[in-house]
Chain A
Amino acid sequence: MSRAPHPRSLLAVAGLSLVLGCEPAADIRGWECLAPANAGGGWDLTCRAVGQVLQQLELAPGLVRTTNLPGAGGGVAYARTVAQRSDDTGLLVAASPSTVLRLAQGQYGSLTETDVRWVGALGAEYGVLAVAADAPWQTLDDLLAAWRADPASLVVSGGSAVAGQDHMKVLLLAHRAGIDPRRIRYVPFDGGGEAMTALLGGFVQLFSGEASEVEGQVEAGRLRVLVSLSPERMRGLFADVPTARESGIDLTWVTWRGFYVPGGIGDEAYDGWVDVLRQVEASEAWEEARRINRLQPFFMVGPEFEAFVMSQVADFRAMSREIGLIP
């Protein structure tokens, strides 16, 4: 997985020596982690956290640079990876179900999920549905009973746009619980925090989001989480919250944090990345980084992960058709 000296090094030398005559950074050769969003978002944090671990474990040949390339919900980075970097063996691109969702809905133009190679995921958050502490529903069954009786009586808030992750998870839940997804009233807010504030203010009745978003309010006793969309019960604060499966609804929502790599790098390089992610997962440094980033353990690599992504694409595509979003 070696690369020619990055041209940036040459120019850096030129620029620096012209101005200061001082030395350039020691080793510019290395890997690049592309975060398809601005600094501070989920993809950016994934890159920075994993990049640091890769350096600590000395798995990377030198530095791991995090580059931010925002635009079109990851579409700009996806397009660039496919079009300009298709055989770059030193490039990782951060991804999550949001990437998959947009691919499923055709929002990356003509590009599809098979244009890149999906390497693996190193951690996850899990979706939750929450109600205000004084809401009449104590369990998911209570809620579903009321919801089935009158689907229009409940309004759901979420932090993502219409047809985004928070909308999709509640649509899938309703669909599997036998409620017509087209009758679900979902109101998008700017981020999970605002969506949750709308619930606290009594403007909506149900909040669809991630576990980490509701922690503070759950601790303060203002919110009640009715269901977690994890495969098994979460640990810690949410240990008492039943999963959807326990309530007889076959749905999990794993907001995994993972990567894809360019499609043209060949099997050998791909297997190399899979191996690298395995070593990261096995390290203590990653366990610590995962804790800091408030991620739950979730590990899946290689063909298993590729199959998982393809099944997510199929699910999302079917649901987007069902509600008439895509033809």
Chain B
Amino acid sequence: MTTDRIAGSVLVVAGTLTGLEATTFDVAFMTDPVGPKALPFLVAVMLLVAGVRTIARPRSEVALPPRPVALRMGAAALAFLGYAAILPWIGFFLATTLVVAALAMLYRGPVGGSLAAGMALAGTLWLLFVRILALPLPVGDLWIR
């Protein structure tokens, strides 16, 4: 019961904050009779209603993943964030190689194989997106001279 009550509380808090923030959307001059607050207030009401009802009538407990699994999932999320952090710095190829290798290892791939997969994938994607589709993927600052 408690997990659902937590989810409901999150909804209530989110709805309240959304509504409070919406009160600050003041326009200097009227362009339309509805204004920018209407949609946010609707959202606030939806979240509050859903939240209050969820708290009032919780469902059965949600099974959270056991600690070792949760740690692995946290590590995966960190790998994602790490990717965002290092991508502009070390460039697409290296960053992608590293993150793919890290994820592969989290999925219990062999170390060598994971690294090889990372490199092959990064190279292929680079070819595909930069060479063929001309997307500007970052090169990174590491290699300047």
Contact = CB atoms under 8 A, between A and B. Distances in A.
Interface of A: 4, 6-8, 10-12, 14-16, 18-20, 25, 67-69, 162, 182, 186-187, 323-325
A11 B97 CA distance: 13
B62 interface: no
A15 B93 contact: yes
Nearest to B92: A11
A11 B144 contact: no
B31 A67 contact: no
Given A7-B143, A67-B136, A186 B123 contact: no
Given A19-B124, A324-B29, 17 more contacts: A4-B144, A7-B143, A8-B139, A10-B139, A10-B143, A11-B139, A12-B131, A14-B93, A15-B127, A16-B123, A18-B123, A19-B126, A162-B31, A187-B32, A323-B29, A324-B28, A325-B28
B119 interface: yes
B145 interface: yes
Q: Classify the interface of chain A: helix, strand, loop or mixed.
A: mixed
Interface of B: 28-29, 31-32, 91-93, 119-120, 122-124, 126-127, 130-131, 136, 139-141, 143-145
B34 to A, nearest CB: 12
Q: Identify the 8 closest CB pairs spanning chains A and B, nearest first.
A: A19-B123, A324-B28, A8-B139, A15-B126, A7-B143, A67-B136, A324-B29, A7-B139
A7 B140 contact: yes
Contacts of B123: 15-16, 18-19
Contacts of A15: 93, 122-123, 126-127
Nearest to A20: B127
A324 B30 CA distance: 10
Contact of B140 (A11, A182, A186): A11
Nearest to B90: A11
B111 to A, nearest CB: 19
